[in-house]
Chain A
Amino acid sequence: MSIANLLKVALKAILNNKARSFLSMLGIIIGVAAVIVMMAIGQGSKESIHKELSTMGTNLLTIRPGADMRGGVRLDPSAMQTLKQADYEAILSEAKFVKKASPEVTTSGQAIIGSNNTTSTCYGESPDYISIKLWTVESGQCFTEEDVKKSAKVCLIGKTVVNELFPNGQDPIGKTIRFKTIPFRVIGVLKGKGYNNWGMDQDNVIIAPYTTVMKRLSAQTHFNSIVCSALTEELTDAAIEDLKQILRRSHKLKESDEDNFTIRSQQEFMDTMSSTMDTITIILVVAAAFSLLVAGIGIMNIMLVSVTERTKEIGLRMSVGARGLDISNQFLIESVTISVTGGVLGVLLGGLLTWACNTWVGYPAVIPMWSVIVSFAVCVLIGIGFGYIPAQKAARMDPIEAIRYE
């Protein structure tokens, strides 16, 4: 029998038993929808993390003091004080693949103006920091190299600090706030970046010249880190190698010495985050896929019942000339039709749930196109795989017994 006729026969059989067919489809619908939603959530999280990290600059490099020893190795405190002004100057003058660099010194404390106060973190930076971390100065202006030289008591503040200290909407520019005990004149306001994926408020910042923070606030001569931007994202690895050589020279390390600093790229960080997300997604999808397996067994069950019920029909078809292959194809097409129809409805339901997830729950979810294609393929396989045994049972029937079956 031709495929078109087989499909017609299959559709007729399915429509003759609407409720039963729908129930056996339901398993597939739920399974596929679950897989699609899980994949969409995984993909959505990945993309949003990527977007988030991109707002901090994809060509970002962070140099931290201390060797790359993750996992609880006790360090000599002096090892954490290896990044000095000389290193920064060496990077500025020698690094070939670095566009901009800024030392970084951070200290947390309370910012106060009048009766308002808020806990915030003060970042001591060079003026280039703004462009390295892709900040935008919304109003006012950034401090200058001149301010750095003079350790000027000026600062830029983030949106959260503005809201906390100036709740009535006054213009903060030109006002003097106190951080810890030191008065800072606000010369600029940063455009908001919002919360990052770890729930950290990126706008709760105060940025001041690093010299000011080192001398007046934290009284230290070393940097907590140095942040740089590579010339391009592609040159990140070259930039890391180059920076290593510069810092080893500047730290006068011998050939046998290990690095007493660590350079991390944003790229590397993104990759780590993605692979973590991938693992979580795989676990979720595997869990959802089990429901597809159960759905397949449901289809097999219903097909077995259907074959027994239609013994007489099978006998008739055989006696008018259907070969075993025709009968087996008929039941296979029927089970594939059930599972693929379930798959289509499942994709639609998955799409709907994903949309709901985005719209109402506010969780970013994006359906990857390949997951739809894979779902279809899996449905076809389920239909064939779980339809095979019932189809064989039908094809092997003896037409003499089948036609007289009551």
Chain B
Amino acid sequence: MDARKVVIELHDVRRNFIVGSETVHALRGISFKIYEGEFVTIMGTSGSGKSTLLNQLGCLDTPTSGEYLLDGISVRTMKRSQRARLRNRKIGFVFQNYNLLAKTTAVENVELPLMYNSEFNSQQRREAAVKALEAVGLGDRLEHKSNQMSGGQMQRVAIARALVNNPAVILADEATGNLDTRTSFEVLVLFQKLHAEGRTIIFVTHNPDIAQYSSRNIVLRDGKIREDVQNNNILSAAEALAALPAPQDD
């Protein structure tokens, strides 16, 4: 069998929402395993249940039925505060619209998750944040405030924030959705670099092109898995970036 470590394991996960008198089945029995070091894209059209699945994976929500193990820990019966702790230690979020704190420097933004971890003192916090920013190539922008940065830079700060707690999995929600083509590729290059370093990444998107750069692609439709395929021909985002027409300076 597979000797790799399982980071995420879903077993017949269902999630129903009661809207008025109707029950909406957002997830209708999802089962999969994600192993350490995978770069998985989860795709699907609007209404396919990918946001609901992301909330489950991110421990922001719990399944109506089924089992979800994150790094071997069962999430379904956890209380709010326990899930908050789990998010703090095991998950790094990257959002579509960056969600940086306004008027706050890059390094302070990256420190944020560690503020809720009493094992870090202020010095350790800063060291970890600086390291994470260096890892995303922003070592020279530590004290820049969020409103003094470009979209790509802000997203890289957000990625650094997702890395800083050394999470079991990085969850990206349309992380390139707000960026232009060039910047999108720059961010993808970064994700591929993290993947190469052995990080587990789940990238939720509706953009089919991105699947070419990941190692595995799961497609959702109507709350069920329609397709789950390994990608044996991973394209290099760096090459794609180089192939783009040079930015026009005028």
Binding site for B on A (CB under 8 A): 1-2, 5, 12, 16, 312-313, 315-326, 399-400, 403
Binding site for A on B (CB under 8 A): 55, 58, 60-61, 80-81, 84-85, 87-89, 93, 95, 99, 101-104, 112-113, 115-118, 161, 165
8 Å CB contact of B87 from A1, A5, A321: A321
Q: How far is the CB of B123 from chain A (nearest CB, A)?
A: 13
CB pair A312–B116 under 8 Å, yes or no, is no
Check A399/B60 contact, CB under 8 A, given A320-B112, A320-B161: yes
CB pair A321–B103 under 8 Å, yes or no, is no
Q: Which of chain B's residues have a CB closer than 8 A to the CB of A5?
A: 115
Q: Which of chain A's residues have a CB closer than 8 A to the CB of B116?
A: 1, 317, 320-323, 326
CB pair A319–B81 under 8 Å, yes or no, is no
CB pair B60–A400 under 8 Å, yes or no, is yes
> How far is B86's CA from A399's CA once the two chains are assembled, in angstroms?
14
CB pair B60–A323 under 8 Å, yes or no, is no
Check A323/B85 contact, CB under 8 A, given A313-B101, A400-B60: yes
- With A12-B103, A324-B80 known, 11 other A-B pairs at CB within 8 A are A1-B115, A316-B99, A319-B93, A320-B87, A320-B113, A321-B87, A321-B116, A326-B84, A326-B116, A400-B60, A403-B99
Which residue, A320, A325, A403, has most C-beta atoms of chain B within 10 A? A320
Q: How far is the CB of B63 from chain A (nearest CB, A)?
A: 14
> How far is B88's CA from A322's CA once the two chains are assembled, in angstroms?
8
Q: Which of chain A's residues have a CB closer than 8 A to the CB of B115?
A: 1, 5
CB pair B101–A319 under 8 Å, yes or no, is no
CB pair A316–B85 under 8 Å, yes or no, is no
Q: Which of chain B's residues have a CB closer than 8 A to the CB of A315?
A: 99
CB pair A324–B81 under 8 Å, yes or no, is yes
Q: Which of chain B's residues have a CB closer than 8 A to the CB of A325?
A: 81
Q: Which of chain B's residues have a CB closer than 8 A to the CB of A312?
A: 99
CB pair A322–B61 under 8 Å, yes or no, is no
> How far is B102's CA from A324's CA once the two chains are assembled, in angstroms?
21
CB pair B87–A400 under 8 Å, yes or no, is no
Q: Which of chain B's residues have a CB closer than 8 A to the CB of A16?
A: 102-103
Check A321/B117 contact, CB under 8 A, given A400-B60, A400-B61: yes
> How far is B92's CA from A321's CA once the two chains are assembled, in angstroms?
10
Q: How far is the CB of A374 from chain B (nearest CB, A)?
A: 35
8 Å CB contact of A319 from B87, B102, B104, B165: B87
List the A residue with the shortest CB-CB distance to B93.
A319
8 Å CB contact of A2 from B85, B103, B118: B118
CB pair A321–B89 under 8 Å, yes or no, is yes
CB pair A320–B88 under 8 Å, yes or no, is yes
Q: Which of chain A's residues have a CB closer than 8 A to the CB of B113?
A: 320-321
Q: How far is the CB of A13 from chain B (nearest CB, A)?
A: 10
List the A residue with the shortest CB-CB distance to B100.
A316
Check A323/B84 contact, CB under 8 A, given A400-B55, A400-B61: yes
Q: Which 6 A-B pairs have the closest CB atoms?
A: A321-B88, A320-B113, A321-B116, A323-B81, A323-B84, A316-B99
List the B residue with the shortest CB-CB distance to A326.
B116
List the B residue with the shortest CB-CB distance to A319.
B93
Can you give 10 A-B contacts (C-beta < 8 A)?
Answer: A16-B102, A315-B99, A316-B95, A319-B60, A319-B93, A324-B80, A324-B81, A399-B60, A400-B55, A400-B61
CB pair B118–A318 under 8 Å, yes or no, is no
Q: Which of chain B's residues have a CB closer than 8 A to the CB of A1?
A: 115-116
CB pair B61–A320 under 8 Å, yes or no, is no
Q: How far is the CB of A329 from chain B (nearest CB, A)?
A: 11
List the B residue with the shortest CB-CB distance to A5.
B115
Q: Which of chain B's residues have a CB closer than 8 A to the CB of A320?
A: 87-88, 93, 112-113, 116, 161
List the A residue with the shortest CB-CB distance to B171.
A319
Q: How far is the CB of B38 from chain A (nearest CB, A)?
A: 22
Q: Which of chain A's residues have a CB closer than 8 A to the CB of B87?
A: 318-321
Q: How far is the CB of A20 from chain B (nearest CB, A)?
A: 14
Q: How far is the CB of A182 from chain B (nearest CB, A)?
A: 89
CB pair A319–B58 under 8 Å, yes or no, is yes
Q: How far is the CB of B57 from chain A (nearest CB, A)?
A: 12
Q: Which of chain A's residues have a CB closer than 8 A to the CB of B165?
A: 321
8 Å CB contact of B85 from A12, A319, A321: A321
Q: Which of chain A's residues have a CB closer than 8 A to the CB of B112?
A: 316-317, 320
> How far is B118's CA from A403's CA once the two chains are assembled, in angstroms?
24
Q: Which of chain B's residues have a CB closer than 8 A to the CB of A403?
A: 95, 99
List the A residue with the shortest CB-CB distance to B98.
A316
8 Å CB contact of A321 from B84, B95, B99: B84
Q: How far is the CB of B237 from chain A (nearest CB, A)?
A: 26
Q: Which of chain B's residues have a CB closer than 8 A to the CB of A12?
A: 103-104
